[in-house]
Amino acid sequence: MEKFIDYIHTFFDNLNMENNSNKLCLRNSIDRFIKTGTKEDAFSVYYCFCEIFEVFGRGYENTQNLLEMLSDHEYHSGELLSKHRDHYSHSVYVFLIGLAIFENLKVLRSEIGKFYKLNHKNDAIFFLKYWGITALFHDIGYPFQLAHEQIKNYCTEIWKNEPQLYVSFGNLNSFLNLDLEDQGLLEKEFGRTFDNINNLLAYGLYLHEGYEESKVGPLLYQRIVEQPNFIDHGYFSAVTLAKKMLKTNHKLNRIDLDVLTAILLHNNFNKYDYKAIAKEECHSISLQENPLAFLLILCDELQIWDRLAYGKISKRDPIAWDVEFFIKDDLLSVTYYFDTYTIVEANGDIRLNDSYLKIKDGKFINKLKDYIDYSFQINAKVEQRKKEKRQELYMSDNNFINLCDLAKAIHASYLDHCLDFTSEYINEAFSNLPLEFKLSNIEQAKSYASKLELINCFYSSKDLDYPVIEDINKDLFIKNGIDHLGFLSREEHVRWVKEKLSLGWVYGNDYQTTQERNEKKIHKSLVPFDKLSDTEKLKNEMVIKNLIPLLRKFDSNIKIYNYRYGRKDTLEIGGIGHRFGLQNPQKIKERIKKILKIYKENYRVVVRTSYAYGAGQLIAECATELGITTKAVIPMDYEEYIEDVKNDALKHGIDYTLNDELRMRHLLAQAVSLKIKKDPINTYAAAAAYIIERCDKLIAIWDGTERDLFDSKEHKEINRGGTYHSLSIAMKEKGMKIKNSAQITDIHIIN
């Protein structure tokens, strides 16, 4: 998805948003979601968007139930159906496809600009807001369809081909009716009265599609109360969104109506039931007549990868697991990647995957032509690529109530006297935070799933038959004399450093107040954990220590449990190599990452290096980018070493800049530990020996040159602590082999 990610980055690079910090928060949340595709990271995208644009008023609480109910209904009800895939993460993907297309497809951006009379300076922020509402909320009515299909599926399973029961929706008139206040507001905006939401939607379809209002209004009602086969979630999504907008914003303008009609049209109304309107009126939607509807139908159809299957039939033919887009000028090309094209049936028969065939045979694109009328070129193709094993999936129950309560407890735990706070005070304190700090607490909450795994724990709001942890350092089932509190504090500091760097913060101490620090985005604590003051270290520990008692103040019943077995085995990998003369660093990084990814599948990998210029920093950078724990072993005091690396580079003709220094500082700040191993004669000898002594595997960036390690004339040791000397120690003293008899590599040489 490299090109797809680049398209999204370009959109945000060119986006003029008044609050740059908010822009970075949204962009970073999107980056995390693209990397994982999980509902937890989809949640952060929804959260940022709703906080920035206040879709239903200030505060996520106004949006919470709407989105969380959709995810919960799918999770608990989806497996009862024959066909069903996720819609929560799917909606975020749809949103992102739209951003990529808008940024790169000239004709679409131009037509949207014309339609809404925009100029190029404000078209992107306008599009981000209204397309975001359209895409992110287009499936919120799915629980209505789920209820209908559950009964239908239940009856079909029991009575097979007999006439089946179906459910309808009573009290629909009361559900749709508009009160006098809303009628007055709509009359003021549109110059006419509407007594119910169906009539409002019918008017929206008349404005752009030309569908006759007198036919559409009754049809919308009839297809819900007298529908034995299918309930259109697109209709209920539009109605639910309209009710929510009117209730919280007390207004609904013409662009909002375009959003609602786009959602109404996207799934069923204009695809299958249009003949009930009038055959001569029916037509595929064009970009010029309704750009939001056009784009929603297009993106909704294109998003057929990485969707969690719930239903039995949906699981039978896996869809593509990855995708790549190519968008330029008037061309939109999509490549879908399948793990395999074939399906092995229960009886051993092999057949082609139906999802693959529809794209391969052109049925997918031909079907798209029935729904939208487009002038630019769209093509879709398939390729086979081995599916990468999804990692970082944990036992912790990451439902959204848990995440919110965890985040609020985390924020409160930084404050004095936090254990005396009421839940109301904690909620209010959290709601008053800037978005960046709210999101920081949410990301910290999400990280507990992985951090607790490292100490054999998980959290859940369910009552389970596992030991409950009341004190991190006292109650763990497996103790081994480990300082678990200190361990988690280090892990949290590294996570915080990574987050700050992703939001544009840099190391620095040129500030007097917290406000000045936040405005400049510089922080003196962007250093390794071992270089923090005792006060800062204690603050990290208190957050973890206070978390358990603070969680009791909420109604979510979250508990921390202990497994009865150990975590993944730890594999320590040492990193050594030349400081200068590295050819094609990018190619070297690819090879390093390939090695690390293989080990990461089965181990908790820890990479230890000296962070020297060249190989040391390159290896550390690869590990950091892959989310692998790093440890630093440096040959002199911290600030002295940073200065020494700079002087060493300048001495070798390297144009060493302030950015190079910041890169080193920021890399070191993301190391979970910092050891200083000095050798007054051979600078790197003690540090190199320490790395070799503790490593299980070794990555060496080495040009193959064997250097003399002893000067016979001077009768002294030479070239100690260098790459060849380190390799010699590993092979001769530790018995590590480049390949042993079982063809297992202890030492990976990269040249």
Most confident of 185-189, 292-296, 413-417, 544-548: 292-296
Question: Exposed (0-12), middle (13-18) or buried (19+): which is 31, by Cβ within 10 Å?
Answer: middle
List beta partners, residue 697.
Answer: 573
Q: Which of 23-32, 164-173, 492-501, 516-525 bottoms out in mean pLDDT, i.e. has the lowest?
A: 164-173
pLDDT at 395 over 80: no
Most confident of 69-78, 253-262, 300-309, 678-687: 253-262
pLDDT tier at 334, thresholds 50, 70, 90:
very high
d(CA 98, CA 109): 11
pLDDT tier at 479, thresholds 50, 70, 90:
low
pLDDT tier at 605, thresholds 50, 70, 90:
very high
pLDDT tier at 461, thresholds 50, 70, 90:
confident
Q: Which of 401-410, 439-448, 470-479 bottoms out in mean pLDDT, i.e. has the lowest?
A: 470-479
d(CA 150, CA 159): 14
pLDDT tier at 354, thresholds 50, 70, 90:
confident
Find the largest Cα–Cα distance for the chain: 104
pLDDT given for residue 508 in this prediction:
95
Q: Are strands 629-634 and 673-676 parallel, antiparallel or unpaired?
A: parallel
- Sequence-distant contacts of 647-651: CB under 8 A, at least 24 apart: 648/579, 648/613, 649/580, 649/613
pLDDT given for residue 83 in this prediction:
46
Q: Which CATH number fits the domain 570-750, given the four candidates 3.30.500.10, 3.30.9.10, 3.40.50.720, 3.40.50.450?
A: 3.40.50.450
pLDDT digits (tens, 9 = 90+) for 708-751: 777 767 767 777 888 999 999 999 999 999 876 556 789 999 98
d(CA 239, CA 200): 10
pLDDT at 575 over 60: yes
pLDDT at 82 over 50: no
Most confident of 155-169, 263-277, 516-530, 717-731: 516-530
pLDDT at 1 over 80: no
Mean pLDDT of the region 28-37: 92
pLDDT given for residue 75 in this prediction:
53
pLDDT at 265 over 70: yes
pLDDT at 629 over 90: yes
pLDDT at 567 over 80: no
pLDDT at 649 over 80: yes
Residue % of the chain over a pLDDT of 70? 89
Higher-pLDDT residue of 680, 664: 664
pLDDT given for residue 566 in this prediction:
64
d(CA 695, CA 676): 17
pLDDT tier at 276, thresholds 50, 70, 90:
low
pLDDT at 678 over 80: yes
pLDDT at 465 over 90: no
Most confident of 2-6, 112-116, 397-401: 112-116
pLDDT at 314 over 60: no
Terminal CA-to-CA distance of the chain, rounded, Å? 29
pLDDT given for residue 165 in this prediction:
74
Q: What angle do CA 115, 117, 118 make, to 5 degrees?
A: 110
pLDDT tier at 71, thresholds 50, 70, 90:
low
pLDDT at 81 over 50: no
Going through 545-622 in order, the beta strands assigned E by DSSP cover 559-562, 570-577, 604-609
Mean pLDDT of the region 514-528: 94
Nearest to 745 by CA among 697, 695, 692: 697
Mean pLDDT of the region 180-199: 93
Map residue 310 onto helix, strand or coil: coil
Type of residue numbered 597: K
- Domain boundaries along the sequence of the chain: 2-384, 400-562, 570-750
Mean pLDDT of the region 592-610: 93
> How many Å is the Cα radius of gyration of the chain?
29
Say if residues 335 and 304 touch (Cβ distance below 8 Å): no
pLDDT tier at 338, thresholds 50, 70, 90:
very high
Mean pLDDT of the region 570-584: 93
The pTM score is 0.79
Mean pLDDT of the region 371-376: 92
pLDDT given for residue 552 in this prediction:
77
